[in-house]
Amino acid sequence: MARVTLPSAFRPMLATAGTELPRGTGWTYEPKWDGMRIIATVDKRRARLWTRNGNEKSAQFPEVADALVTIAAERGPVVLDGELIAVDSGGAALRFGALQGRIHATRGVPEGRAVFVAFDCLAVGDETLVREPWMERRAALEEYLDGLAGGSAAAARGNKGRAAGVRLGETSRTAGRLLQRARAQGWEGLIAKDIDAPYHGGARSNAWVKHKLEARQEFVVGGFTAPEGGRTHLGALLVGYHDGGALRFAGAVGTGFDRATLADLARRLAPLNRRTSPFEPKPAVRGATWVTPSLVVEVRYNEMTDAGKLRQPVFIGLRDDKRAAEVTLETQPARRRRSA
């Protein structure tokens, strides 16, 4: 798949991980959407949907691209930052796993519904906004998407016609109520944003802080085990993260797969086979097949032990929107977290 490098100013700004939400009048709070981060570059002829690592996804999400072009035909070219999420027939947001069949589709019209939730505006017309504070960019976003409802299913039912594939992401200057909703509705978490901060394209910044309500993150696949019992293709994925120039082993992920997913993983891993372990130090895993560490997966887990190993990990999905070399540990092991 062809990849491009977006101008550095338009590469996604990344949030730092925080155990507590920053509070005060200088912050706003938004849902941490459980989908695929997208930079949308749009004019009246075409919308291109770029992932973090430069894959273009308009073919997989044609209704979103069409919706953006419909808006741009009336309001002019724009560069938007946001999240592609899966939704059900009523428009309610689904988890990341519901996007899997669409993200990797190579032909035909993919099944399932999706919408683009826009939460930042990087440029309108010939004006680049990345140096402006969040407050100014938010005002530009709301003006550009004027008439489109917010990210919730109930609000977005007012978005009619082809523009129904785009929503304005919600934001709140009050953390408490949004946090209550997040816990009640099972959101992945919240993002706190400094309202005076510019857009730091391509950088991880303390001006955006993500507060997760469940333990999950991306890991790199460095191998797999053989299937046992009635399972086919593979048993468990052997995953890790980059630390100090080395790939550290985090554990074996053996649940969360269906048959189609196992077959797809086996197909992707087959050409990556290698004789030596990519992990340092080499884990003692009987009958492991090692692979070149280029495949990224998202995993949910109970906790990370003092030894840096995952407890009760569950496979969530493949992440072809993130580079393996960028995957580091976001959550400290329990002992280091307690002593921090």
Catalytic residue among 32, 57, 193, 322: 32
Q: How far apart are the first and last CA of the chain?
A: 42
Query: Using CA of residue 112, residue 94, residue 300, residue 60, what is the dihedral sign?
Result: positive
32 a catalytic residue: yes
Backbone Cα Rg of the chain: 20
CA dist., res. 142 & res. 149, Å (int): 10
Q: DSSP of 123-136, one letter per residue?
A: EETTEE-TTS-HHH
Could you give phi then psi for residue 131, rounded to 5 degrees? -85, -10
Cα 175 to Cα 23, 83, 152, 314: the distances in Å are 8, 21, 17, 29
Residue 316's identity, in one-letter code, is I
| Residue 190 bridge partners (DSSP) | 31, 211
Would you name the residues annotated as active-site residues? Answer: 32
